[in-house]
Structure 1
Amino acid sequence: MGAADAVPGVSGGTIAFITGIYEELIHTIKQFGPSALGAWRRGGVAGLVAHLNLPFLLPLLLGIAVSLISVAHLAVWLLEDHPLLLNGFFFGLVLASALVVSRHPADWRWWHILPLIGGLLMANGLPSLMPLISELGSQEVMLLAGGAIAISAMILPGVSGSFLLLTMGLYGTVMDGIRGFDMELIGLFGMGCAVGLFAFSRLLSWLLDRYHTATLQLLVGFIVGSLPLLWPWRELVRYQLGPDGQMIPLDYRYLTPGDYALLTGDAPQLVAVVALMLAGAVAVLLLDRSGRRSAAVRDNGSSATGIQETSARGTGSQQASSREASSHSQETSSKETSSKDQQGGRL
């Protein structure tokens, strides 16, 4: 997820989605709030750890942080020197992701195509609105707003927070701040992320609880809608300059490898790009297979536990019945003996 979030055009939410941890992640993030204080008062540290699902969250956040910091250098280098190869890998990864997660659930209905189309339209329309953030003026306000928007996009499958930062004119600023450990910049951006994460995770959790299948189709639409942004052979046809003179992309023209070579004079690297597309797709299929196998193991474990509990309850019931029958037999025998003794006494 950290590596994906460092690359414009790719969403860490997509990685969470295809690895099967997306819904648990959203519901876990939602737990941060006033309810956490109540859990701490009721159960102490153990209650707080369970409430916040820290055994799940801490390893995930550690992996994201390490990957994001380490990949920040690599991502900038690849974007500058090998953009075709980088986009090729992630195009294959996201395309396979869309195919994997678009499987129709059991309760799918024809009208679920509407949120799917809505996701497609929003994924294509969001980037064109982002340059408005550069009109806020103050860089501090831009960093706060950019953090809130980017983190919300990062937890949406198919919507790249890094690409939205790029269209806001903030990508270079934020990546340079992370690489240089600029704590003031990281603090402002982090505050915006915290606000966006707190608010948006609650909205997503509410939608998943009440409109599960429709929300999943909306997320699939976001994933499919992000594919044009990752097409390797494209030409920037419209842009604007940000407040610091940086170029903010607004629109691309998508080309065939042959047209790309004619227009740019650069080699399309067709074989290498296609090979990396296949590598990205295979990675997703392996992750999906591993996730389904793990889910099956968990389900089998739950079933076995249920059978054992049922068996234990059945054995306990049999033992209790046996004890009751034995006790009843002893009481009956005792009463008969007492009755005979009384009769003998009278005689």
Structure 2
Amino acid sequence: MKLWQIYLRGMLMGAADIVPGISGGTIAFITGIYERLINSLRSFNLTLWKVWKEQGFTGVLKAVDAIFLVTLLAGILSSVLLLSHFISWLLASYPLHLNGLFFGLVVGSAVIISREMGGWTLNQLLLILLGAFMATFISQVLPSIGSITPITFFFAGMIAICAMILPGISGSFLLLTLGLYGPLIEAVKVFNLTFIAAFAVGAGSGLLAFSHLLGWLFDHFRAATFAVLFGFVIGSLKHIWPWQFLTRYKISNQGKMLPLDTQVLPPWHFSDITGQASYSLTVIILMLVGLLMVLSLASHKK
């Protein structure tokens, strides 16, 4: 595979990772580089020391498939930088429409994940409940911290990077659930090096720490892993439902409002309670567009 082809796949992965609902891992799987990516990440282990002593730095680069990884990462970063301004503008100008599209994308991902669970047995249902509980727990942890700091971004990077290993769940969706999607997009937009570096270090650390574990789970407990992921996604859908009313919040150390709890509303009640336009028809259309986009991508895997 030529370098420009790898770079292009990286750009597609970056575009997917910045949009909640589409997994960069899914794009890697569809475009035929998932296995190579996993093998490259797994090569970062203690045997590299032996390779270093016997073959030197050149041998290490070859062992980890460094040219492939660097080219792919360059494509991912290029896409993130190019899209961050556009996404930030949409978040500020069309939040209901954007969340409608995100909701459809995530529902589509949930459908794909459900196909990999191996049936609806009692064990799978319990694992789904575990995933839903995890989603509820994680979504409540971050707002309780009370501030957004580089440490927060570090741990967010560790969590979000898991999406690159397991196809089916989006890293940006995890960030959306944690309440960090908007702040990260803004950090990239204004080029806040402190937050970006903290997130990048967290992502790199998480990638090295979890790649072997997640790869092993995917190999040996595929159905169970996807059942937990399905529960997580379903349990998190509340957080991107377009029509919500803020019922509880707190002020962070930076003086910003942090949502703690919201009430999910039907679109026909949203305008009455909030006094804002619901844009019901266009938002529902965007939900369907997002759903069909993901299902269409999934059909190309077969």
Q: TM-score, normalised by structure 2?
A: 0.78
Q: Does 1:260 align with 2:252?
A: no
Shift of 1:210: 3.0
Structure 2 match to 1:178: 188
Q: Does 1:221 align with 2:234?
A: no
Structure 1 match to 2:249: 239
Contact conserved, 1:144 with 1:191, CA < 8 A, in 2?
yes
Structure 2 match to 1:190: 200
Q: Structure 1: state its 5+ residue gaps.
A: 293-347
| Number of equivalenced pairs | 284
- Give the alignment partner of residue 74 of structure 2, picking from 62, 71, 75: 62
Tell me, in whole angstroms, the C-alpha distance in 2 between the residues paired with 1:165 and 1:108: 28
Structure 2 match to 1:166: 179
Shift of 1:3: 3.8
Percent identity, aligned pairs only, is 36
SS of the residue 2:176 aligns to? helix
Structure 2 match to 1:280: 290
Structure 2 match to 1:120: 132
Matching of residues 134-145 of structure 1 within 5 Å: 134=146, 139-145=149-155
Does the C-alpha gap of structure 1 residues 123 and 112 become closer, same or farther in structure 2, counting only changes over 3 Å?
same
Contact conserved, 1:261 with 1:268, CA < 8 A, in 2?
yes
Q: Does 1:130 align with 2:142?
A: yes
Shift of 1:260: 0.7
Tell me, in whole angstroms, the C-alpha distance in 1 between the residues paired with 2:51 and 2:226: 30
SS of the residue 1:226 aligns to? helix
Contact conserved, 1:116 with 1:218, CA < 8 A, in 2?
yes
Shift of 1:45: 7.2
Encode CA deviations 1:93-137: one digit per residue, 9 max, x unaligned. 1111211221156688542222222112211221101134447x9
- Give the alignment partner of residue 207 of structure 1, picking from 201, 217, 221: 217
Pairwise CA RMSD of aligned residues?
3.3
Contact conserved, 2:101 with 2:286, CA < 8 A, in 1?
yes
Encode CA deviations 1:249-302: one digit per residue, 9 max, x unaligned. 22111111110121122222122112211211221122111121xxxxxxxxxx
Tell me, in whole angstroms, the C-alpha distance in 2 between the residues paired with 1:239 and 1:226: 19
Tell me, in whole angstroms, the C-alpha distance in 2 between the residues paired with 1:29 and 1:228: 33
Structure 2 match to 1:16: 25
Structure 1 match to 2:3: none
Structure 2 counterpart of 1:116, which letter?
I
Q: Which has the larger radius of gyration?
A: 1
Does the C-alpha gap of structure 1 residues 274 and 144 become closer, same or farther in structure 2, counting only changes over 3 Å?
closer
Shift of 1:87: 1.0
Shift of 1:161: 3.9
- Give the alignment partner of residue 280 of structure 2, picking from 254, 259, 270: 270
Does the C-alpha gap of structure 1 residues 107 and 145 become closer, same or farther in structure 2, counting only changes over 3 Å?
closer
Q: TM-score, normalised by structure 1?
A: 0.69
Contact conserved, 1:237 with 1:252, CA < 8 A, in 2?
yes
Structure 2 match to 1:95: 107
Contact conserved, 2:146 with 2:250, CA < 8 A, in 1?
no
Tell me, in whole angstroms, the C-alpha distance in 1 between the residues paired with 2:21 and 2:53: 37
Structure 2 match to 1:83: 95
